[in-house]
Amino acid sequence: MKHVVWDWNGTILDDNDAVIAAVNNVCAGFGRAPITIEYWQSIFSRPLLQCYERLLGTSLTDADWARIDKLYHDEYRQLLTVCRLAGGVPDHLHEWHRTGRTQSLLSMWFHDELVPLVTEYGLADLFSRIDGLRLTTGGGSKAEHLGEHLEALKISPRDTVLIGDVVDDAEAARSVGARCVLVTTGVMSRAALEATGMPVADSIPEALNKI
């Protein structure tokens, strides 16, 4: 395998504490009791609108979704400064780079915030391309972005493995004919990840060993 496409949130960035605090900020705003990370992992799915409808037990309007987006991201951004890199990062990414193989970053986090954040962590030079979400609100699927990402890199999906933490990563990889390894470090349960049929690992080093 020549190229790794990395996911960011929940894969390279260990942000579960920030995620659950942000979700609970949404819960508080809609009068729902707080939840645990384990519960969020059990119901998380994309598109996120339907996920939040299950969480809150109600249909959501466009105005509700805009409010959820603000409640979530206001809290998440405040906590980004205390997030840390996942175990094995950056050492194993440097090792992959030293072998002459390539890697890139494709995230559903906002592009204009992603690039400075990756740079701040000292990782930007490891990636041949960094792509984040270029829309004003998130919640969609990665599948539509992965093909564009690989096309811009001029890399064949057959030479690519996507490493991520959610079912959407597996679906994105499958949609373009790439391989995928899923890690249990993010916002989905192991059972949900294993149900995709893709290899599942508990850490970045283990994921790289499964390539």
Digit-coded pLDDT (tens) for 151-178: 999 999 999 999 999 999 999 999 999 9
The pLDDT of 71-94, averaged and rounded, is: 95
Q: What are residue 161's DSSP bridge partners?
A: 4, 179
| Residue range 16-82, CATH number | 1.10.150
- Structure confidence at residue 202 (pLDDT): 97
- Structure confidence at residue 27 (pLDDT): 98
- pLDDT over 60 (residue 94): yes
- pLDDT over 60 (residue 137): no
- pLDDT over 80 (residue 139): no
Grade residue 58 by pLDDT with cuts at 50, 70 and 90: very high
- pLDDT over 90 (residue 138): no
Do the beta carbons of residue 179 and residue 160 sit within 8 Å?
A: yes
The pLDDT of 121-150, averaged and rounded, is: 86
- Structure confidence at residue 136 (pLDDT): 62
Q: What are residue 100's DSSP bridge partners?
A: none
Give residue limits of the domains in the chain.
3-15+84-209, 16-82
Grade residue 55 by pLDDT with cuts at 50, 70 and 90: very high
Q: What are residue 160's DSSP bridge partners?
A: 3
| Residue 179, helix vs strand vs coil | strand
- Is the pTM higher than 0.85? The answer reads yes
CA dihedral 53, 37, 34, 81 (to 10 degrees): -100
Do the beta carbons of residue 31 and residue 81 sit within 8 Å?
A: no
The pLDDT of 26-48, averaged and rounded, is: 93
The pLDDT of 53-68, averaged and rounded, is: 96
Do the beta carbons of residue 36 and residue 181 sit within 8 Å?
A: no
| Residue 123, helix vs strand vs coil | coil
3-15+84-209 to CATH, choices 3.40.50.1000, 3.40.50.620, 3.90.1170.30, 3.40.30.10: 3.40.50.1000
